């Protein structure tokens, strides 16, 4: 009987983790996708909910959790690319139960969810993405994000800063303004996502990666303003590359790297015949205020441009 109860509890959480059970998270959630489809036709790789089994401490408490101790929220970025943090709760109860966690944030910042509600067996932890938007006129400084359960409140400081003050690790493109020749509208493919600092493909069609809107029509372009004149000598490009959608079939194949020098675009590197998920292009240092990728061909029959991230150094 105990084994049967445990199996039913695991099945309930497994169902919750599936897209069809996204009702448990109050706020925007991805639309369920068909089992087989091209990557530009829906959020095939998005996982809104993460479930981790564990061992309950038996305290009867529900503990809020966050993916990091603080959240950096840049000013002046495209609203389509808000700051993101994983939030959720862990159950240390003795029996499976429904659990609630409220989400509060200091104005004028806004959060994509006000509540997380889920069925949790003992010891299980659930997390989901929380998007935090920063209005353009927001003063720089520290704001509060609070995750409340009936037993505890977890406070996460939100640091609002300009892109110039970000710890960019040498990536001059991080959180800078991005423009593109077009944008596919079947899912969430904002151009600004190529400069959000996330080079992984698992969030494809869910706001992490740019897909153009003109199949089999070339060239496609995506340009990143560097916030002033900078010396650049390297560009790393990450294209779509997952087990389901490998770069050799769906990724970008041919492109030029251009630098904006004195108001003119200069080609500084070229890539041809690529089948890998990422490519590093080194070139002689130039002084530029922008970098542009000119996409010329992709692998596979659909021939869209799919770029996850562009780093400039």
Where exactly are the structural domains of the chain? 61-167, 168-312
Cis peptide before 16 (omega within 30 of 0): no
The three-state secondary structure class of 252 is: strand
pLDDT in tens, 259-287: 999 999 999 999 999 999 999 999 999 99
Residue labelled with tokens 């809104």: 48
Q: Is the pLDDT of residue 4 over 90?
A: no
pLDDT in tens, 170-221: 999 999 999 999 999 877 999 999 999 999 998 898 889 999 999 999 999 9
pLDDT in tens, 113-155: 999 999 999 999 999 999 999 999 999 999 999 999 999 999 9
Architecture category of domain 61-167 in CATH? Sandwich (2.60)
- More confident of the two residues 19 and 163: 163
Homologous superfamily of the 168-312 domain (CATH): Galactose-binding domain-like (2.60.120.260)
Identify the pLDDT of residue 40.
Answer: 67
In angstroms, the CA 142 to CA 135 distance is 14
Evaluate whether 175 touches 196 at the Cβ level (below 8 Å): yes
pLDDT in tens, 235-264: 999 999 999 999 999 999 999 999 999 999
Q: Is the pLDDT of residue 226 over 60?
A: yes
Give kind and range of the element (H or E) at residue 13: helix 2-17
Q: Tell me the CA distances in angstroms from 227 to 125, 196, 197, one per residue in order.
A: 41, 15, 16
pLDDT-based confidence at residue 49 (cuts at 50, 70, 90): confident
Evaluate whether 83 touches 52 at the Cβ level (below 8 Å): no
């Amino acid at each position: 009987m105990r084994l049967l109860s445990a199996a039913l509890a695991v099945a309930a959480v497994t169902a919750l983790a599936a897209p069809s059970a996204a009702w448990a998270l109050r706020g925007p959630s991805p639309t369920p996708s068909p089992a087989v489809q091209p990557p530009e036709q829906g959020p095939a790789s998005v996982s809104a909910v993460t479930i981790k089994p564990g061992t309950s401490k038996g305290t009867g408490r529900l503990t809020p959790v966050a993916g990091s101790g603080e959240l950096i929220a840049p000013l002046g970025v495209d609203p389509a690319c808000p700051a993101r943090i994983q939030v959720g709760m862990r159950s240390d109860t003795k029996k499976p139960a429904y659990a609630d966690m409220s989400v509060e944030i200091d104005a004028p910042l806004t959060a994509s969810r006000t509540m997380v509600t889920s069925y949790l067996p003992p010891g299980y932890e659930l997390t989901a993405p929380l998007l935090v938007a920063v209005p353009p006129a927001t003063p720089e400084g520290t704001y509060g994000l609070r995750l409340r359960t009936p037993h505890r409140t977890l406070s996460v400081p939100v640091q609002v800063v300009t892109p110039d003050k970000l710890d960019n690790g040498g990536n001059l493109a991080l959180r800078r303004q991005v423009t593109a020749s077009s944008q596919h509208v079947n899912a969430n493919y904002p151009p600004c996502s190529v400069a959000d600092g996330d080079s992984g493909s698992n969030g494809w069609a869910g706001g992490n990666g740019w897909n153009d809107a003109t199949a089999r029509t070339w060239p496609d372009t995506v340009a990143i303003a560097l916030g002033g004149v900078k010396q650049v000598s390297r560009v790393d490009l990450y294209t779509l590359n997952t087990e389901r959608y490998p770069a050799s079939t769906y990724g970008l194949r041919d492109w030029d790297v251009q630098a904006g020098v004195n108001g003119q675009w200069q080609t500084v590197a070229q890539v041809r015949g690529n089948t890998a998920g990422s490519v590093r292009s080194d070139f002689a240092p130039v002084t530029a205020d922008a970098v542009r990728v000119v996409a010329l061909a992709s692998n596979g029959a659909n021939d869209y441009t799919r770029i996850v991230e562009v780093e400039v150094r």
